[in-house]
Structure 1
Amino acid sequence: MSLIRRVARPMLAAMFVVGGLDQLRHPAKQAPKLAPLAEQAAPALHLPNDPELLVRANGAVMVGGGALFAMGRLPRITSVLLAGTLLPTTYVGHPFWEEKDPARRAQQRTAFLKNLGILGGLLLAAVDTEGRPGIAYRVHLATERAGRTAKTTRREARHAARAAKREARLAAHSAHDALT
């Protein structure tokens, strides 16, 4: 792991670990904000319509995913998980479009945009293969290799069949010559 990744991952993960711990300890703070969204989304997603439980679950994913991401464990998967926790947190926590007070609206918009920036960093982390080939590339190489092997095998089989045919003809001619 490069020095940049070793330093940047914990920096990016810190917000999730701290925010997740806060959600785990004090879910009642966020539950009223989440209640309208939970009412709409919970049945469709087959989740319980319990805002406090959903806040705690989000917090647990933030803490676990943040800790794993900070340590460099499963960074691509954990970055996607963290991005998934950031979406509802941003939507519920920073609805600047609902604010009437211009100062409060500006503050919420700044926090919203900050979270969008963090989301961008997580999306970059989700596609970062650390210089190693990704799964899609490895599958592509394996497919090409299998295709080349199959082509070579078919060609060798054709050559072997032709050689066997020639040998059979020679054997038939020599048998015919031996009888006559």
Structure 2
Amino acid sequence: MALVRRIARPLLAAPFIFEGVRTALHPEREIDVYPQAFDAVDSAIAKSSAPGFVDARTVVRAAGAVAAGAGVLYATNRYPRAAAAALLLTTSIGWAGRKKVWELRGEELTQEVQAILTDAGLLGGVLLAVVDNDGRPSLGYRAHKFVERSQKKAAATQRELEKKAGKLEKKAKGAVQTAQKQLSVQQG
């Protein structure tokens, strides 16, 4: 299975890297699709306490750079689940509604539906990648098992200490009784 992952991860990551680089270099492609939405984002950013150089173009560029970086991380098997989650978050929004399918006819409609289904298939692959643990348990499971082992070890240590304390208590009682007998013999 490791060989399949070694081949499949770069193949799955390639379109995301390509789109991320294109978006980072040419953010207007995304902005032209939803100009009203980006105008609203620009006005919201202007009203916020964000630095003056931050606008919708900068946000789109940053999302493209994050997508390309996450694609590279996923392709090289570095933090694959986190990288896949970043890919899912950064690219699914950009791919939604690239063209208004209901306005298309004929061959253009067929091509756009095919492109949408291809994108949906890629997103499905990324969803699988998010939950793929590569034969290793998740971080939550490992943390739970660590806590469980620590609790068992602490309980075993406590039992061992209680045994030793019981033995020391018996020795102390025996020493006290011996001392009392010697004291009574000396007094008597």
Residues 51 and 33 from structure 1, CA distance in 2 versus in 1: closer, same or farther, beyond 3 angstroms?
farther
Offset at residue 75 of structure 1 (A): 1.5
Name the structure 2 match of 1:77.
82
TM-score normalised to structure 2 length: 0.78
Unaligned runs of 5+ in 1: none
Residues 25 and 165 from structure 1, CA distance in 2 versus in 1: closer, same or farther, beyond 3 angstroms?
closer
Name the structure 1 match of 2:65.
60
Q: Does 1:134 align with 2:138?
A: yes
Name the structure 1 match of 2:15.
15
Contact 1:75–1:125, Cα closer than 8 Å, also in 2:
yes
Among 159, 163, 169, the alignment partner of 1:165 is 169
TM-score normalised to structure 1 length: 0.81
Offset at residue 160 of structure 1 (A): 1.9
User: Which stretch of structure 1 is more off in the superposition, 27-36 or 122-131?
Assistant: 27-36
Q: Percent identity?
A: 33
Residues 87 and 39 from structure 1, CA distance in 2 versus in 1: closer, same or farther, beyond 3 angstroms?
farther
Name the structure 1 match of 2:129.
125
After TM superposition, where is structure 1 displaced by more than 6 Å over at least 4 residues in a row? 46-49
Q: CA RMSD in A?
A: 2.7
Unaligned runs of 5+ in 2: none
Higher relative contact order (CA 8 A, sep 6+): 2
Larger Cα Rg: Structure 1 or Structure 2? 2
| Aligned residue identity for 1:75 | P
Aligned ranges 1:145-156 → 2 under 5 Å: 145-156=149-160
Name the structure 1 match of 2:36.
36
Residues 158 and 101 from structure 1, CA distance in 2 versus in 1: closer, same or farther, beyond 3 angstroms?
same
Name the structure 1 match of 2:103.
100
CA distance in 1: counterparts of 2:55 and 2:90, whole angstroms: 17
CA distance in 2: counterparts of 1:23 and 1:10, whole angstroms: 19
